[in-house]
Amino acid sequence: MAGLSDRIEAEAVAIEELGSLAGRRASAGIPPFAGAYSNFAAFNCVADVPSAARDLARLVAPGGRALLVAFGPFSPGEVVTLLLRGLPRAAFRRLSRGAVPARVGGSEFTVAYPRPRDFARAFTPWFVLKRIVGVGVFVPPSSAEPAVSRWPRFLAALEAIDRLAARPLALLGDHILFDFERTSDIP
C-alpha cells in the first residue's frame, strides 16, 4: 500500500464483538485505531446501538474518525421501486418505529431505521457528529437493479445530481454516511 503497510492495520469484526476486540487489544498494549469504517448499514442490524458505540469508542483514538454508513429513515427511490414491484408493505417499512424483520440470502434478522438524530445521539458522549452525507438520494437503490443499468446515461445524470444533493438532502438518501469524531470522553 504505497509504502504504508507498516502503518496500516485492518480488522473485520462483527459489531457485537467490538468490546471483545477492544479488550484483547488493550490487554496486549495495542494502541487504538486512528479511525473506523462500517458500510452496508451494519449498525441498522444491531439491537443495542449505544453499547456498540461505547465499544467502538474503546477502539478509536480521541480525535479519530468513525465513518458509518446506515440506512436512511425514508428513501423515495426505494418506495417507488418497491411499489412498482407490487410490494407496498416493504415500500414503507422504514417508517416503522421499531425493528422490522428482514431476509437476505435465506438468513433472517431484524433491521431498524432510526432517525439520524436518534442514531447520532446513541454515539454520545464518545463521538460528536461532524456531518452527514446522503448516499443514493437520486440514484435508485440496489433493488432497482438490473433494470436501472439499462440506461447508463440517465444513471450517470442521477449520479451527478446525487453529488450536488448529498448534503442538503441527506435525509432522503437510501443510505446516510455519518462522519463522527471521537471525543476524549472515556467509555
> Distances from the Cα of 45 to the Cαs of 14, 102, 146, 157, in angstroms?
11, 10, 26, 32
**Is 153:111 a contact under the CB 8 Å cutoff?**
no
End-to-end Cα separation, the chain, in angstroms: 32
CB atoms within 10 A of CB 62: 13
Cα torsion for 27, 31, 34, 35, to the nearest 10°?
A: 0
SS3 137: coil
All structural domains of the chain: 15-182 (3.40.50.150)
Task: Provide the pLDDT for residue 103.
Answer: 86
Burial of 184 (C-beta count, 10 Å sphere; 0-12/13-18/19+): exposed
**Within a 13 Å sphere around the CA of 30, how many CA atoms are in the beta-carbon half?**
14
pTM of this structure: 0.92
pLDDT of residue 147: 85
Rounded CA gap, 70 and 118, in Å?
12
pLDDT at 1: 55
- Which residues does the chain have with pLDDT short of 50? none
Residue pair 43/49 in contact (Cβ under 8 Å)? The answer is yes
Give the chain's radius of gyration (CA, Å).
18
Q: What is the pLDDT of residue 97?
A: 87
∠ CA 19-7-127 to the nearest 5 degrees?
Answer: 40
